Protein backbone atom coordinates (compact mmCIF):
# COMPACT_ATOMS: atom_id res chain seq x y z
CA UNK A 1 0.00 0.00 0.00
CA UNK A 2 1.30 3.46 -0.89
CA UNK A 3 2.13 5.77 1.99
CA UNK A 4 -0.56 8.24 0.94
CA UNK A 5 -3.26 5.54 0.83
CA UNK A 6 -2.16 4.26 4.24
CA UNK A 7 -2.28 7.73 5.81
CA UNK A 8 -5.65 8.55 4.25
CA UNK A 9 -7.16 5.46 5.88
CA UNK A 10 -5.46 6.13 9.19
CA UNK A 11 -6.56 9.81 9.24
CA UNK A 12 -9.93 10.03 7.42
CA UNK A 13 -10.85 13.55 8.58
CA UNK A 14 -9.06 16.85 8.93
CA UNK A 15 -11.08 19.21 11.15
CA UNK A 16 -10.73 22.98 11.46
CA UNK A 17 -12.16 23.16 14.96
CA UNK A 18 -11.84 26.78 16.04
CA UNK A 19 -9.56 29.75 16.56
CA UNK A 20 -8.92 32.22 19.36
CA UNK A 21 -8.20 35.95 19.01
CA UNK A 22 -6.31 37.72 21.79
CA UNK A 23 -4.99 41.24 22.29
CA UNK A 24 -1.38 41.44 23.43
CA UNK A 25 -0.64 45.10 23.96
CA UNK A 26 -1.12 46.75 20.57
CA UNK A 27 -0.77 43.45 18.73
CA UNK A 28 -3.33 40.86 17.73
CA UNK A 29 -2.64 37.14 18.13
CA UNK A 30 -4.72 34.41 16.49
CA UNK A 31 -4.26 30.76 17.41
CA UNK A 32 -5.82 28.08 15.23
CA UNK A 33 -6.97 24.64 16.29
CA UNK A 34 -6.75 21.84 13.70
CA UNK A 35 -7.44 18.17 14.42
CA UNK A 36 -6.37 15.22 12.32
CA UNK A 37 -8.47 12.24 13.29
CA UNK A 38 -8.01 10.23 15.35
CA UNK A 39 -5.15 11.57 17.45
CA UNK A 40 -3.21 14.55 16.07
CA UNK A 41 -3.62 18.25 16.84
CA UNK A 42 -1.99 21.36 15.38
CA UNK A 43 -1.94 24.90 16.75
CA UNK A 44 -0.32 27.37 14.34
CA UNK A 45 -0.35 31.05 15.25
CA UNK A 46 -0.16 34.47 13.66
CA UNK A 47 0.57 37.76 15.41
CA UNK A 48 -0.09 41.11 13.74
CA UNK A 49 2.10 43.75 15.36
CA UNK A 50 1.57 47.42 16.24
CA UNK A 51 -2.05 47.93 15.23
CA UNK A 52 -3.30 51.51 15.69
CA UNK A 53 -5.54 51.57 18.78
CA UNK A 54 -8.80 52.84 17.21
CA UNK A 55 -8.80 50.42 14.29
CA UNK A 56 -10.04 47.25 15.99
CA UNK A 57 -13.24 48.98 17.08
CA UNK A 58 -13.84 50.26 13.57
CA UNK A 59 -13.46 46.79 12.04
CA UNK A 60 -16.20 45.33 14.21
CA UNK A 61 -16.11 42.03 16.10
CA UNK A 62 -17.88 39.86 13.54
CA UNK A 63 -15.84 41.12 10.59
CA UNK A 64 -12.68 40.62 12.66
CA UNK A 65 -13.75 37.03 13.33
CA UNK A 66 -14.35 36.51 9.61
CA UNK A 67 -10.87 37.74 8.66
CA UNK A 68 -9.25 35.50 11.29
CA UNK A 69 -11.38 32.51 10.26
CA UNK A 70 -10.20 32.89 6.66
CA UNK A 71 -6.55 33.13 7.69
CA UNK A 72 -7.08 29.77 9.37
CA UNK A 73 -8.63 28.33 6.22
CA UNK A 74 -5.55 29.40 4.26
CA UNK A 75 -3.25 27.75 6.82
CA UNK A 76 -4.97 24.36 6.41
CA UNK A 77 -2.97 23.23 3.38
CA UNK A 78 0.26 22.98 5.40
CA UNK A 79 -1.33 20.57 7.90
CA UNK A 80 -3.85 18.71 5.75
CA UNK A 81 -1.06 17.62 3.41
CA UNK A 82 0.52 15.42 6.10
CA UNK A 83 -2.08 12.71 5.43
CA UNK A 84 -4.26 14.09 2.59
CA UNK A 85 -7.40 13.16 4.53
CA UNK A 86 -10.35 12.44 2.19
CA UNK A 87 -12.59 14.81 4.16
CA UNK A 88 -12.09 18.30 5.56
CA UNK A 89 -14.69 19.36 8.12
CA UNK A 90 -15.13 23.05 8.99
CA UNK A 91 -16.34 23.68 12.54
CA UNK A 92 -14.74 27.11 13.05
CA UNK A 93 -17.10 29.13 10.86
CA UNK A 94 -19.60 29.21 8.04
CA UNK A 95 -18.99 28.79 4.30
CA UNK A 96 -21.65 28.67 1.60
CA UNK A 97 -21.54 26.23 -1.33
CA UNK A 98 -19.76 28.68 -3.61
CA UNK A 99 -17.05 29.25 -1.01
CA UNK A 100 -16.58 25.53 -0.49
CA UNK A 101 -16.07 25.09 -4.23
CA UNK A 102 -13.56 27.96 -4.18
CA UNK A 103 -11.53 26.37 -1.39
CA UNK A 104 -11.57 22.94 -2.99
CA UNK A 105 -10.30 24.48 -6.21
CA UNK A 106 -7.44 26.16 -4.32
CA UNK A 107 -6.46 22.88 -2.67
CA UNK A 108 -6.44 20.98 -5.96
CA UNK A 109 -4.81 23.68 -8.12
CA UNK A 110 -2.49 25.07 -5.47
CA UNK A 111 -1.17 21.70 -4.29
CA UNK A 112 -0.31 20.37 -7.75
CA UNK A 113 3.44 20.29 -7.15
CA UNK A 114 2.92 18.45 -3.86
CA UNK A 115 0.74 15.82 -5.58
CA UNK A 116 3.28 15.37 -8.38
CA UNK A 117 6.32 15.05 -6.12
CA UNK A 118 4.54 12.57 -3.84
CA UNK A 119 3.06 10.64 -6.81
CA UNK A 120 -0.51 11.15 -5.55
CA UNK A 121 -3.52 10.64 -7.81
CA UNK A 122 -5.68 13.65 -6.96
CA UNK A 123 -7.96 13.42 -9.99
CA UNK A 124 -10.61 10.93 -8.88
CA UNK A 125 -13.97 12.38 -7.68
CA UNK A 126 -13.75 11.26 -4.05
CA UNK A 127 -10.19 12.44 -3.47
CA UNK A 128 -11.28 15.43 -1.37
CA UNK A 129 -14.53 16.74 0.05
CA UNK A 130 -15.01 19.85 2.17
CA UNK A 131 -18.05 20.04 4.39
CA UNK A 132 -19.42 22.04 7.29
CA UNK A 133 -20.11 20.43 10.62
CA UNK A 134 -23.80 19.96 11.42
CA UNK A 135 -23.74 22.94 13.74
CA UNK A 136 -22.58 25.18 10.87
CA UNK A 137 -25.11 24.05 8.27
CA UNK A 138 -26.45 27.59 7.96
CA UNK A 139 -25.07 31.01 8.76
CA UNK A 140 -24.25 34.53 7.59
CA UNK A 141 -21.22 36.17 5.99
CA UNK A 142 -20.03 39.13 8.06
CA UNK A 143 -18.10 41.15 5.50
CA UNK A 144 -16.26 44.35 6.50
CA UNK A 145 -18.26 47.27 5.13
CA UNK A 146 -16.22 50.30 6.14
CA UNK A 147 -14.37 52.74 3.92
CA UNK A 148 -10.58 52.65 3.68
CA UNK A 149 -7.93 55.24 2.89
CA UNK A 150 -6.62 55.54 -0.64
CA UNK A 151 -3.31 53.87 0.24
CA UNK A 152 -1.35 50.84 -0.98
CA UNK A 153 -0.09 47.89 1.05
CA UNK A 154 2.90 46.26 -0.69
CA UNK A 155 4.10 42.80 0.41
CA UNK A 156 7.92 42.92 0.57
CA UNK A 157 10.22 39.95 1.15
CA UNK A 158 13.49 41.41 -0.08
CA UNK A 159 13.32 40.46 -3.78
CA UNK A 160 13.63 42.66 -6.86
CA UNK A 161 9.92 42.31 -7.79
CA UNK A 162 8.57 44.01 -4.68
CA UNK A 163 11.36 46.60 -4.84
CA UNK A 164 10.29 47.54 -8.36
CA UNK A 165 6.64 47.61 -7.24
CA UNK A 166 7.38 49.90 -4.30
CA UNK A 167 9.50 52.23 -6.43
CA UNK A 168 6.75 52.45 -9.05
CA UNK A 169 4.29 53.62 -6.40
CA UNK A 170 6.84 56.07 -5.05
CA UNK A 171 7.38 57.51 -8.53
CA UNK A 172 3.62 57.92 -8.99
CA UNK A 173 3.34 59.72 -5.67
CA UNK A 174 1.08 57.06 -4.13
CA UNK A 175 0.94 56.62 -0.38
CA UNK A 176 2.06 53.10 0.57
CA UNK A 177 3.53 50.90 3.29
CA UNK A 178 5.21 47.52 3.29
CA UNK A 179 3.78 44.26 4.61
CA UNK A 180 6.09 41.40 5.65
CA UNK A 181 5.64 38.00 7.27
CA UNK A 182 8.59 36.86 9.38
CA UNK A 183 10.85 39.34 7.55
CA UNK A 184 14.40 38.17 6.88
CA UNK A 185 17.49 40.30 7.40
CA UNK A 186 17.45 41.06 3.68
CA UNK A 187 13.79 42.09 3.74
CA UNK A 188 14.42 44.44 6.66
CA UNK A 189 17.37 46.00 4.85
CA UNK A 190 15.35 46.54 1.67
CA UNK A 191 12.45 48.07 3.59
CA UNK A 192 14.85 50.47 5.31
CA UNK A 193 16.48 51.49 2.01
CA UNK A 194 12.99 52.13 0.58
CA UNK A 195 12.51 54.73 3.33
CA UNK A 196 9.64 52.89 5.02
CA UNK A 197 9.68 53.85 8.70
CA UNK A 198 6.81 51.86 10.20
CA UNK A 199 6.48 48.61 8.23
CA UNK A 200 3.54 46.32 8.93
CA UNK A 201 4.85 43.03 10.27
CA UNK A 202 3.17 39.68 10.90
CA UNK A 203 4.77 36.88 12.87
CA UNK A 204 3.68 33.48 11.57
CA UNK A 205 4.46 30.44 13.69
CA UNK A 206 4.33 26.92 12.30
CA UNK A 207 3.38 24.24 14.83
CA UNK A 208 6.53 22.19 15.64
CA UNK A 209 4.33 19.07 15.59
CA UNK A 210 4.25 19.39 11.79
CA UNK A 211 8.03 19.07 11.53
CA UNK A 212 8.03 16.07 13.87
CA UNK A 213 5.47 14.30 11.68
CA UNK A 214 7.58 14.93 8.58
CA UNK A 215 10.47 13.11 10.26
CA UNK A 216 8.16 10.17 10.98
CA UNK A 217 7.31 9.71 7.31
CA UNK A 218 4.16 11.79 6.99
CA UNK A 219 3.74 13.58 3.68
CA UNK A 220 5.51 16.85 2.99
CA UNK A 221 5.91 19.27 0.10
CA UNK A 222 5.01 22.56 -1.55
CA UNK A 223 1.92 24.54 -0.54
CA UNK A 224 0.47 27.72 -2.13
CA UNK A 225 2.17 30.16 0.26
CA UNK A 226 1.11 33.26 -1.66
CA UNK A 227 -2.53 32.42 -0.88
CA UNK A 228 -1.65 32.46 2.84
CA UNK A 229 0.16 35.78 2.44
CA UNK A 230 -2.78 37.17 0.47
CA UNK A 231 -5.31 36.50 3.22
CA UNK A 232 -2.93 37.96 5.80
CA UNK A 233 -2.34 41.04 3.64
CA UNK A 234 -6.07 41.66 3.20
CA UNK A 235 -6.59 41.28 6.96
CA UNK A 236 -3.82 43.83 7.56
CA UNK A 237 -5.24 46.18 4.91
CA UNK A 238 -8.47 46.38 6.91
CA UNK A 239 -6.68 46.65 10.25
CA UNK A 240 -4.30 49.42 9.14
CA UNK A 241 -6.69 51.29 6.83
CA UNK A 242 -5.44 50.52 3.28
CA UNK A 243 -7.75 50.29 0.29
CA UNK A 244 -5.28 48.56 -2.04
CA UNK A 245 -3.27 45.36 -1.61
CA UNK A 246 -0.62 45.52 -4.33
CA UNK A 247 1.40 42.35 -4.84
CA UNK A 248 4.29 42.32 -7.32
CA UNK A 249 3.53 39.13 -9.24
CA UNK A 250 4.55 39.13 -12.89
CA UNK A 251 3.18 37.83 -16.19
CA UNK A 252 5.67 34.93 -16.14
CA UNK A 253 3.92 33.25 -13.19
CA UNK A 254 1.19 32.02 -15.53
CA UNK A 255 3.42 29.42 -17.20
CA UNK A 256 3.22 25.95 -15.64
CA UNK A 257 6.10 23.55 -15.00
CA UNK A 258 4.81 20.26 -16.41
CA UNK A 259 1.79 18.04 -17.00
CA UNK A 260 0.81 15.36 -14.46
CA UNK A 261 -2.22 13.09 -14.81
CA UNK A 262 -3.46 15.34 -17.59
CA UNK A 263 -3.35 18.48 -15.44
CA UNK A 264 -0.98 21.43 -15.62
CA UNK A 265 1.19 21.74 -12.54
CA UNK A 266 2.28 25.29 -11.73
CA UNK A 267 4.63 25.96 -8.83
CA UNK A 268 3.47 29.58 -8.94
CA UNK A 269 -0.28 28.93 -9.15
CA UNK A 270 -1.09 31.27 -6.25
CA UNK A 271 0.98 33.97 -8.01
CA UNK A 272 -0.84 33.47 -11.33
CA UNK A 273 -3.30 35.88 -12.93
CA UNK A 274 -5.97 33.17 -12.65
CA UNK A 275 -5.63 33.00 -8.87
CA UNK A 276 -5.36 36.78 -8.64
CA UNK A 277 -8.74 37.24 -10.35
CA UNK A 278 -10.44 34.53 -8.28
CA UNK A 279 -8.99 35.87 -5.03
CA UNK A 280 -9.85 39.52 -5.79
CA UNK A 281 -13.47 38.54 -6.46
CA UNK A 282 -13.61 36.39 -3.32
CA UNK A 283 -12.32 39.25 -1.17
CA UNK A 284 -14.95 41.70 -2.41
CA UNK A 285 -17.78 39.21 -1.97
CA UNK A 286 -16.85 37.62 1.36
CA UNK A 287 -14.27 39.75 3.20
CA UNK A 288 -14.28 43.45 2.33
CA UNK A 289 -15.96 45.13 -0.62
CA UNK A 290 -13.71 48.18 -0.29
CA UNK A 291 -10.40 46.29 -0.65
CA UNK A 292 -8.85 46.03 -4.12
CA UNK A 293 -6.35 43.18 -4.53
CA UNK A 294 -4.12 43.13 -7.62
CA UNK A 295 -0.56 42.79 -8.89
CA UNK A 296 1.35 45.92 -9.85
CA UNK A 297 3.69 44.02 -12.18
CA UNK A 298 1.25 41.70 -13.96
CA UNK A 299 1.86 43.32 -17.38
CA UNK A 300 5.61 42.64 -17.16
CA UNK A 301 7.89 39.64 -17.69
CA UNK A 302 10.71 38.75 -15.32
CA UNK A 303 13.24 39.99 -17.84
CA UNK A 304 11.49 43.34 -18.06
CA UNK A 305 11.38 43.58 -14.27
CA UNK A 306 15.14 42.97 -14.09
CA UNK A 307 15.65 45.90 -16.47
CA UNK A 308 13.39 48.06 -14.31
CA UNK A 309 15.32 46.99 -11.21
CA UNK A 310 18.57 48.31 -12.71
CA UNK A 311 17.29 51.85 -12.14
CA UNK A 312 17.64 51.33 -8.38
CA UNK A 313 21.30 50.50 -7.63
CA UNK A 314 20.90 51.43 -3.97
CA UNK A 315 19.36 47.97 -3.45
CA UNK A 316 22.06 45.94 -5.25
CA UNK A 317 23.98 44.94 -2.12
CA UNK A 318 20.89 44.16 -0.04
CA UNK A 319 18.23 42.43 -2.13
CA UNK A 320 17.82 38.65 -2.30
CA UNK A 321 15.44 36.41 -4.23
CA UNK A 322 16.91 33.10 -3.02
CA UNK A 323 14.79 31.32 -0.41
CA UNK A 324 17.42 28.65 0.15
CA UNK A 325 20.14 31.24 0.73
CA UNK A 326 18.10 33.13 3.33
CA UNK A 327 17.60 29.86 5.24
CA UNK A 328 21.36 29.29 5.14
CA UNK A 329 22.09 32.78 6.44
CA UNK A 330 23.31 34.29 3.17
CA UNK A 331 21.71 36.29 0.38
CA UNK A 332 22.42 33.85 -2.46
CA UNK A 333 23.16 30.11 -2.30
CA UNK A 334 24.55 30.17 -5.85
CA UNK A 335 23.30 26.63 -6.49
CA UNK A 336 19.54 26.81 -7.13
CA UNK A 337 17.37 27.63 -10.18
CA UNK A 338 16.31 30.95 -8.67
CA UNK A 339 19.89 32.14 -8.28
CA UNK A 340 20.83 31.15 -11.82
CA UNK A 341 17.69 32.65 -13.34
CA UNK A 342 18.05 36.02 -11.58
CA UNK A 343 21.77 36.02 -12.45
CA UNK A 344 20.97 35.41 -16.14
CA UNK A 345 18.34 38.18 -16.28
CA UNK A 346 20.69 40.76 -14.74
CA UNK A 347 23.95 39.71 -16.43
CA UNK A 348 23.28 41.32 -19.85
CA UNK A 349 22.75 44.74 -18.29
CA UNK A 350 25.27 45.02 -15.42
CA UNK A 351 29.04 45.18 -15.30
CA UNK A 352 30.63 41.86 -14.39
CA UNK A 353 32.32 43.25 -11.28
CA UNK A 354 28.90 44.40 -10.03
CA UNK A 355 27.47 40.93 -10.69
CA UNK A 356 30.34 39.28 -8.82
CA UNK A 357 29.83 41.62 -5.88
CA UNK A 358 26.11 40.81 -5.72
CA UNK A 359 26.33 37.03 -6.16
CA UNK A 360 29.81 36.30 -4.78
CA UNK A 361 31.00 34.55 -7.94
CA UNK A 362 30.37 33.92 -11.63
CA UNK A 363 27.48 31.44 -11.75
CA UNK A 364 28.04 30.92 -15.49
CA UNK A 365 31.33 29.19 -14.61
CA UNK A 366 29.71 26.73 -12.19
CA UNK A 367 29.63 23.38 -14.02
CA UNK A 368 27.21 21.91 -11.46
CA UNK A 369 24.55 24.33 -12.69
CA UNK A 370 24.44 22.91 -16.22
CA UNK A 371 21.40 20.61 -15.57
CA UNK A 372 19.55 23.58 -14.06
CA UNK A 373 20.43 25.79 -17.03
CA UNK A 374 19.08 23.18 -19.43
CA UNK A 375 15.88 22.80 -17.37
CA UNK A 376 15.38 26.56 -17.53
CA UNK A 377 15.63 26.82 -21.31
CA UNK A 378 14.94 23.48 -23.02
CA UNK A 379 11.31 22.92 -24.10
CA UNK A 380 11.36 19.15 -23.53
CA UNK A 381 12.44 19.39 -19.90
CA UNK A 382 10.19 20.28 -16.94
CA UNK A 383 10.73 23.83 -15.74
CA UNK A 384 12.31 23.88 -12.25
CA UNK A 385 9.91 24.14 -9.33
CA UNK A 386 10.96 27.66 -8.41
CA UNK A 387 9.66 31.18 -8.99
CA UNK A 388 11.46 31.59 -12.31
CA UNK A 389 10.40 33.07 -15.61
CA UNK A 390 9.11 31.35 -18.71
CA UNK A 391 11.25 29.12 -20.90
CA UNK A 392 11.18 31.82 -23.58
CA UNK A 393 12.45 34.46 -21.13
CA UNK A 394 15.24 32.19 -19.90
CA UNK A 395 16.39 31.50 -23.45
CA UNK A 396 16.39 35.22 -24.19
CA UNK A 397 18.34 35.99 -20.98
CA UNK A 398 20.97 33.36 -21.83
CA UNK A 399 21.15 34.60 -25.46
CA UNK A 400 21.72 38.18 -24.37
CA UNK A 401 24.30 37.05 -21.82
CA UNK A 402 26.21 35.05 -24.42
CA UNK A 403 26.14 37.95 -26.86
CA UNK A 404 27.65 40.18 -24.19
CA UNK A 405 30.45 37.73 -23.36
CA UNK A 406 31.26 37.16 -27.04
CA UNK A 407 31.98 40.86 -27.37
CA UNK A 408 34.41 40.57 -24.46
CA UNK A 409 36.22 37.64 -26.09
CA UNK A 410 35.48 34.83 -23.60
CA UNK A 411 32.26 32.84 -23.23
CA UNK A 412 31.72 31.26 -19.76
CA UNK A 413 31.22 27.49 -19.36
CA UNK A 414 27.41 27.43 -19.06
CA UNK A 415 26.89 29.73 -22.02
CA UNK A 416 29.19 27.56 -24.14
CA UNK A 417 27.43 24.35 -23.10
CA UNK A 418 23.75 25.06 -23.79
Q: What is the pLDDT of residues 348-392, one digit of tens each?
A: 999 999 999 999 999 999 999 999 999 999 999 999 999 999 999
Residue 1 is predicted with a pLDDT of 60
Residue 259 is predicted with a pLDDT of 96
- Sign of CA pseudo-dihedral 129, 133, 137, 139: negative
Q: Is 303:311 a contact under the CB 8 Å cutoff?
A: no
Residue ranges in the chain whose pLDDT is less than 50: none
Q: Which long-range contacts (CB under 8 A, 24 or more apart) does 330-334 make?
A: 331/186, 332/358, 332/359, 332/360, 334/359, 334/360, 334/361, 334/363, 334/366
Q: How far apart are CA 148 and CA 408, in angstroms?
A: 54
Residue 138 is predicted with a pLDDT of 66
205, β-bridge pairs: 45
In residues, how long is the chain? 418
Residue 409 is predicted with a pLDDT of 78
Residue 266 is predicted with a pLDDT of 98
Residue 317 is predicted with a pLDDT of 92
Residue 137 is predicted with a pLDDT of 64
Amino acid sequence: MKQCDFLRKKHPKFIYRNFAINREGNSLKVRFNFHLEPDLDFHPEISILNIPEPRLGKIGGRALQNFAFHCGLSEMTSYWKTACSPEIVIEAGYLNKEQIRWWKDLFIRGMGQFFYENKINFTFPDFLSIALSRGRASGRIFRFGGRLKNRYLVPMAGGRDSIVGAELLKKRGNSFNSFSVNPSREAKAVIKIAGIKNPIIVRRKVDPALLKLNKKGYLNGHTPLTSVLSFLAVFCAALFDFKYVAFSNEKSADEGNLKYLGREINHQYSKSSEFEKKFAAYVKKYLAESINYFSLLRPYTDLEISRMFLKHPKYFNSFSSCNRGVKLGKKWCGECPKCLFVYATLYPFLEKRTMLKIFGGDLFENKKLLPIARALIEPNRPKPFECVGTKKESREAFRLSRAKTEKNGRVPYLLRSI
